[in-house]
Amino acid sequence: MTIPRDFDAVVIGGGLHGCSAAYHMAHAGLKPVVLEKNVVARHASSASAGGVRRLGRDPAEIPLAMASIELWHSMRDMLGDDAEFRATGQVRVAENDQDMAKLAERAASVRALGYDHEVVLDRKQLRRLVPAVSEHCVGGLYTARDGYAFPYKATAAFRLKAEALGAVVEEGTGVTGVEREAGRFVVATNRGAFRAPVLVNAAGAWGAEIARMLGDEVPLEPVALMMMVSARMPHFLDPTVGCAGRPLSFKQMRSGTVVIGGGYRGRVAADGELTELEFRRLALSARTAADIFPIMRDATLVRCWAGIEGFTPDDLPIIGPSKAAPGALHSFGFCGHGFQLGPIVGSITAQLVTQGRTNLPIEAFRVDRFAGQAAV
Amino acid sequence: MSAINSGEIDLAVVGAGPAGLAAATTAAELGLAVSVFDENATPGGQIYRGIEAVAAKRGADFAVLGDAYRAGESIVRDFRASKAAYAPNTGVWLVQKDRQLGIVRDGKAGMVAARRVLIATGAQERPVPIPGWTLPGVMLAGAAQGLLKSAGMVPAGPVVLAGNGPLLYQLAAQLVAAGVKIAALLETRSERAAALPHLPAALMAGNYLAKGLGLIAAVKRAGVPIRRGVTELRALGCERLEAVEVAAGGRTERIDAALLCLHQGVVANVQLSLAIPLKHEWSAAQRCWRPVVDQWGNSDVEGIAVAGDCAGIGGAEAAAHAGRIAAFEAARALGRIDAAARDTHAASDLAAWRRHLRARPFLDALYPPAQGLVVPADDVPVCRCEEVTAGQVRDAVRQGGTGPNQVKSFTRSGMGPCQGRMCALTVSEVIADALGKPVAEIGTYRIRPPIKPLTVGELAALE
């Protein structure tokens, strides 16, 4: 069987961002191919805790997050599958007055930008939303239409819909080099070359390697973010909960299991594809969870894991045109908060391909903003 | 020999079955500071569960459980007399490549470091996914045997045994000796023709065949009805097991039962070695995964060795030899003896170990798991924790889930408290069958610590 080699676009990386870009391009009538070195959603896109969160975003990301939440709310219409998205809200808890002041200041700054999705909760309002929260918590910040979904299922939903619209997904296909030839990219892989006039770099933690093949230098650090999940517990929590003063991402899934994350780092193993956990650091995560939710103290942990994600020095992703290679676009390095943005960034990429412009502000994410800084 | 500072561990042994105990005793004799960690209250593992208490009574129980069980007495006695430290009731929930172990005992979690680690976590039963296997009243034969050994518990009401393998006959003989009435022993399949070429080697291996034939004769003598070559095994009942249905000789038979003990052999317990992860391979003969080790038990990770049934099924006697062999190698690796001394010390154990293993090809070929049970029909639950059926696994494959980890993400199979212990083999087999690929290419779940129950509170207090 011969593999088709010529496409309208080559997408490198079969994670959420690559599959979303493929879907949006296929929806616009293009025929993209997704090249995935392993299997779809192998790393961050299946390991992510799955928070669909606008709460606490960097101001540069807010317009994208506001547009993306609408896509989350219409995902079933768009893809025929909602990846079990539940809009149960997101809450950031303040454990003391100092944290509370920080949250109030944050809410004010977001309002000043013209947004009203982040709402301050007093002690009583916090308990109404989060009855199981520890007595010492004094209030919080809340976004109502946020929630969570299943990362693997979201990625698979974009992939399956993209395929239904004519996109091709090639798993076990790792990119080894990129060349230009008569206005087209020739992407060399372990399974032969693929050609297209458009290239989308959605290679996640490996995005800088692809960028370098294109001539763009980006300082990107692969990081293993650790998470854990408990056995099923009686229902005690609806919204996803974070913490103002300590790293925490805490949610009870519909099945009753509780997923705890928050950004504590494990290690990326020497081969770059596996992760190792750092249990003394994970213990801090357990401590935070048990402090904010005393009910968790006796919860049994079923599994701990880590996913590999690319981090940039300013904690913002790389989105938009390549500097060195016209026709190439970047969408990687989401620094552990790219899940919510997946639907909209794929749409932005497709817009850039089909119209040469986007109506959302992406200047802050340009690939050459670290020029002159040493690569990590 | 260098002085051993208190608290420093030369060899940490995980598991107190025949391999772990023999390794610990031998390593301690060679002057190593040994610590054995085991989740049970007393030494012996599954095979010699509760042996000290049973032996002390010297009563009827001891006779009921048979010679093979009594062989464990001296292994445990030697271990007790050794200088090896022993941590019972201690779960090992983590082993890192840098040889740090995560342990939990009495609600306290901790980390200990060792110069070398020996994994001796033994075997587990192969799952037997038949329609109705999740009903109360249906259990795996080894679990039933465990109750008989540790609690002297004897089932009430009609008992049916189904499946194949030596342990099924052993349990039948034990139940007969305990005065239990067995309504039927249903043998799914044995492949005498396929096994025959391996018979000469097996005859050289020791008294396995005599023991096996003795067990079968005892069961027959007791008048237990035996049906051979049965298929279409089903457990029937609403709230709990009421009857067993089976096809034999072209007709379907219904047998009333209060307890159904299922068995189709044991497989290497690789939960810990997968979690590290050590390099594994698929054993086509034993139809299970096993870590890749050399004759000394060394894995692909420096300083971590594996011995006994968790490195591939060889039985209790082979396991004890493997444990001693691994202990000699540990002493060499830590500089206590040189390679020549190790070879001399280990020679008789190596010879005996190889002799015992010669019985395996015959037993593996005689008692292969039944195809219909390894690759069950759509409506049969494969993951008990998350109630996922074989049909749902096939659906996930159709949606692009080409491996166990993708199927896990689609269906939640293997995400429950047992972390796939009870479904991993079935899920890999079902995927392989659906894609028409060998299981070796399909792989298995990535197993993540903690592999033993650990609470958020225990982890939070980790020191």
Tell how many helices (H) and how many strands (E) occur in chain B.
Answer: 19, 22
Tens of pLDDT, residues A105-152? 999 999 999 999 999 999 999 999 999 999 999 999 999 999 999 999
Domain that holds residue B273: 9-124+267-361
By C-alpha distance, which of B187, B108, B93 is closest to B141?
Answer: B187
Q: Are residues B244 and B356 in the same domain?
A: no
For residues B241-250, one letter each, b for 16 or more C-beta atoms within 10 angstroms of the residue's C-beta and e for the rest, the string is: bbbbbbebee
Q: Are residues B252 and B178 in the same domain?
A: yes
Q: Are residues B131 and B257 in the same domain?
A: yes
B192 in a domain, yes or no?
yes
Q: Which of A264, A271, A303, A304 to mutate to test the interface with B (most CBs of B within 10 A)?
A: A303
B151 in a domain, yes or no?
yes
| Out of A46, A279, A299, closest to residue B456 by CB | A299
Note the pLDDT of residue B296. Answer: 98
- Report the chain B residue with the minimal C-alpha distance to residue A255: B386
Give percent of chain B above pLDDT 70.
97
Check residues B50 and A41 and name the one with the higher pLDDT. Answer: A41
| Out of A39, A153, A298, closest to residue B457 by CB | A298
What is the number of domains present in chain B? 3
- Report the chain B residue with the minimal C-alpha distance to residue A260: B456
Note the pLDDT of residue B206. Answer: 75
Domain ranges across chain A: 9-50+151-218+314-370, 90-144+221-311
Q: Which residues of chain A lie closer than 8 angstroms to B406, CB-CB?
A: 39-41, 152
| Out of B399, B419, B455, closest to residue A297 by CB | B455
Q: How many whole angstroms separate alpha carbon B98 and alpha carbon B86? A: 22
* Whole-number average pLDDT of chain B: 92
ipTM of the complex: 0.92
Q: Which residues of chain A lie closer than 8 angstroms to B455, CB-CB?
A: 297-301
Tens of pLDDT, residues B409-440? 999 999 998 899 999 999 999 999 999 999 99
Q: Is the pLDDT of residue A370 over 90?
A: yes
Tens of pLDDT, residues B230-246? 999 999 999 999 999 99
Q: Which residues of chain B lie closer than 8 angstroms to A287, CB-CB?
A: 460
Q: Predicted confidence band at A201 (pLDDT cuts at 50, 70, 90)?
A: very high
Q: Are residues B69 and B86 in the same domain?
A: yes
Omega within 30 of 0 (cis) for the link into A294? no
Note the pLDDT of residue B64. Answer: 67
**Which range, of A355-359, B50-54, B92-96, averages the lowest pLDDT?**
B50-54
Backbone φ and ψ of B270, nearest 5°? -105, 15
Q: Is there a contact between A89 and A126 (Cβ–Cβ < 8 Å)?
A: no
Q: Which of B302, B402, B459, B462 to mutate to test the interface with A (most CBs of A within 10 A)?
A: B459
Q: How many whole angstroms separate alpha carbon B20 and alpha carbon B119? A: 8
3-state secondary structure of B65: helix
Q: Are residues B139 and B115 in the same domain?
A: no
* Whole-number average pLDDT of chain A: 96
B positions 396-425 inside 8 Å of A (CB) = 399-400, 402-403, 405-406, 409-410, 412, 415-417, 419
Q: Is there a contact between B154 and B130 (Cβ–Cβ < 8 Å)?
A: no
Q: Is there a contact between A57 and A65 (Cβ–Cβ < 8 Å)?
A: yes
In this prediction the pTM is 0.93
- Select A9-50+151-218+314-370's CATH number: 3.50.50.60, 3.90.1210.10, 3.90.1150.10, 3.40.430.10: 3.50.50.60
B460 touches chain A (CB under 8 A): yes
Q: Are residues B246 and B319 in the same domain?
A: no
B417 in a domain, yes or no?
yes
Q: Which residues of chain B lie closer than 8 angstroms to A290, CB-CB?
A: 456-457, 460
Q: Is there a contact between A54 and A144 (Cβ–Cβ < 8 Å)?
A: no
Q: Is the pLDDT of residue B57 over 80?
A: no
B290 in a domain, yes or no?
yes
B2 in a domain, yes or no?
no
B200 in a domain, yes or no?
yes
Q: Are residues B14 and B131 in the same domain?
A: no
Note the pLDDT of residue B2. Answer: 30
B435 touches chain A (CB under 8 A): no
Contact between A305 and B406 using a beta-carbon 8 Å cutoff: no
Q: Which residues of chain B lie closer than 8 angstroms to A289, CB-CB?
A: 456, 460
Note the pLDDT of residue B6. Answer: 47
Bridge partner list, A155 = none
What is the greatest pairwise CA distance in chain B? 71
Q: Which homologous superfamily does the CATH classification assign to the domain defined by A90-144+221-311?
A: D-Amino Acid Oxidase, subunit A, domain 2 (3.30.9.10)
Tens of pLDDT, residues A330-343? 999 999 999 999 99
Contact between A160 and B400 using a beta-carbon 8 Å cutoff: yes
Contact between B449 and A287 using a beta-carbon 8 Å cutoff: no
Provide mean pLDDT across the span B35-62: 85
Q: Predicted confidence band at A75 (pLDDT cuts at 50, 70, 90)?
A: very high
- Report the chain A residue with the minimal C-alpha distance to residue B404: A39
CB neighbours of residue B8 within 10 Å:
13
**CATH label of the domain that carries residue B132:** 3.50.50.60
